[in-house]
Structure 1
Amino acid sequence: MSKRIDVEHLKVYYGDFLAVDDITMQIEPRAVTAFIGPSGCGKSTFLRTLNRMHEVIPGAYVEGKVNLDGENLYAKGVDPVRVRSQVGMVFQRPNPFPTMSIRDNVLAGVKLNSRRIARSDADELVESSLRSANLWNEVKDRLDKPGSGLSGGQQQRLCIARSIAVRPDVILMDEPCSALDPISTLAVEDLINELKAEYTVVIVTHNMQQAARVSDKTAFFNIAGTGKPGRLIEYAPTQEIFNKPQEKATEDYVSGRFG
């Protein structure tokens, strides 16, 4: 688990529209990388290219490469479903399957990938995944209850447990705390810090303080104007981005002068 991502000259298109232009960057294993920037600058679009999730939109395609430990995820014959099991995604709003129990929510990805698993192994996987998501002690006595009955913060950690259960190499998080209260946000941030011991974690956030708290490196994205593609402006260790950025646009954004 935990692999390096090398992105080479990636361009993202929706039909004829160039949404993200010429991204080259290296995302390190066992670290948290944050994507920041104003709304519409392409950071979430780019995040979704890292596990080919953008392809669910008709007409979406990329040029360039995304290499996971040297394997191009866009090479001919690569199965997008396999990519999404290697590179998991946690979305902006918690999305447990409402008709499923907590237990079945954790196992949903495993079953979707048609993996046969013995009951005892399933029980062990549910417990280990929920423990990894810091949720086991809160739900161990109600595993047969609907996941939708949990609080927002618990639901988000359940979704993280569901992602962990398929044993990914990378976990992508698209504004995972934007719908949560401050206490739940802190719980998820603590979890992100723990996850990087085993996983490559990439997070999109609009919260500057959150990026400063949880990430090791930060990438700042920007857009020249409406209808223009998003671009990577600066990518560096987080402390450098917030305390000594090289680009004026980065300094203006992190200091609150625009965005």
Structure 2
Amino acid sequence: MSKRIEAKNLDIFYGDFKAVEDVSMTIEPRAVTAFIGPSGCGKSTFLRSLNRMHEVIPGAYVKGELLLDGEDLYAPAVDPVNVRRQIGMVFQRPNPFPTMSIKENVLAGLKLNNKRLGASEADEVAERALRGANLWEEVKNRLDLPGSGLSGGQQQRLCIARAIAMRPSVLLMDEPCSALDPISTLAIEDLISELKNEYTIVIVTHNMQQASRVSDTTAFFNIAGTGQPGKLIEMDSTQTIFTTPKVQATEDYITGRFG
């Protein structure tokens, strides 16, 4: 299911403001790519551009190319909703729908896309997604209880289950552990390591240790100053970025000299 993403000379704008400038990179399938860099450097904006989620802000647009297995995601005939079906997203804070049960939360994306499921098929989809998110054993006896009653870490895994129920090719995660305790963080990191066998995964994180633990490739973004666009400074295997980066700014950030 996983697919390759290629960005070619991608600029991202909000109205007249250029938020990200001239990013070219290849994100490989069945691997975890981490975006790191100081706050405001454009890494989350670039992440959201991968499934056109940034377009929910009026005036947002891109220049350049963004390809999913060679298909232009920004071609005029492409429906952003279809892009988001293929490229799922998990946000910084767990956001289960508070009035829905655990099972209803898992199936919410499918129902919002007008996919009709029989009772047995709904049960199968819910179980598959919850097993995929390593949550089934913890919730199988309380599927009809509110998703908001779960712990923070469980809620985040519920949101991952909701995303993978749609059978996407790519999973985007914007600081998925920043609101979680260390034990819940470990559970999410273990899950990410398992999910990469089926999905292309891209994660934004401010946690250097997390990036080094979970990712195969790391991209370092930086910004020249306030009001300047974010730029991709260096991208390489995670081992190379964290041991022998080619750019001094990358080493300075990873070692804590700034950011």
TM superposition score normalised by structure 1? 1.00
Find the aligned partners of 2:112 and 2:218 in 1 and give their Cα distance. Answer: 33
Counterpart of 1:163?
Answer: 163
> Could you say which residue in structure 1 is the equivalent of 2:112?
112
Q: Distance in 2 between matches of 1:94 and 1:79?
A: 26
1:54 equivalent in structure 2 = 54
Structure 1 residues not aligned, in runs of 5+: none
Q: Which residue of 1 aligns with 2:194?
A: 194
Structure 2: how far apart are the matches of 1:138 and 1:66? 39
Alignment of 1:105-254 (within 5 A): 105-254=105-254
Cα deviation 1:121-166 (Å, max 9, x = unaligned) = 1100000100000000000000000000000000000000000000
**Distance (whole Å) between structure 2 residues aligned to residue 250 and residue 95 of structure 1:** 33
Q: How far 1:117 sits from its partner (Å)?
A: 1.4
Measured in 2, the distance between the counterparts of 1:77 and 1:143 equals 39
DSSP 3-state at the match of 2:183: helix
Which residue matches 1:255? 255
Shift in Å, 1:232 = 0.0
- Residue 81 of structure 2 corresponds to 81
Q: Secondary structure at the match of 2:156?
A: helix
Q: Alignment identity in percent?
A: 76
Quote the residue 2:72 is aligned against. Answer: 72
Displacement of 1:113 after TM fit?
A: 1.1
Distance across 1 between alignment mates of 2:202 and 2:218: 10
Distance 1:206 1:80 in 2: 28
Distance 1:18 1:157 in 2: 34
| Alpha-carbon separation, structure 2, partners of 1:46 and 1:133 | 25
Q: Which amino acid aligns with 2:93?
A: R
Quick one: distance in 2 between partners of 1:61 and 1:112?
25
Deviating 4+ runs (over 3 angstroms): none
Distance 2:165 2:233 in 1: 35
Q: Per the alignment, in what secondary structure is the counterpart of residue 232 of structure 1?
A: strand
Partner SS, residue 145 of structure 2: coil
Amino acid at match of 2:140: K
SS at structure 1 position matched to 2:233: strand
Counterpart CA distance in 2 for 1:3 and 1:118 is: 30
1:77 Cα deviation after fit? 1.0
CA distance in 2: counterparts of 1:178 and 1:191, whole angstroms: 16
Asked whether 1:26 is paired with 2:22, we answer no
How many aligned residue pairs are there?
259
State the 1:65 CA deviation.
Answer: 1.1
SS of 2:94's equivalent in the other structure is coil
Match of 2:15 in 1: 15
- In structure 2, the gaps of 5 or more residues are none
| Structure 2 counterpart of 1:236, one-letter code | D
Classify the secondary structure of the residue corresponding to 2:51: coil
| 1:42 aligned partner | 42
Q: Deviations over 1:185-211 (max 9, x none)?
A: 000000000000000000000000000
In 2, Cα distance between equivalents of 1:116 and 1:79: 21
Distance, in Å, in 1 between the alignment partners of 2:112 and 2:54 is: 19
Tell me, what secondary structure is at the counterpart of 1:84?
helix
The whole-number CA distance in structure 1 between the counterparts of 2:142 and 2:168 is 26
For residue 148 of structure 2, give the secondary structure of its aligned residue in structure 1.
helix
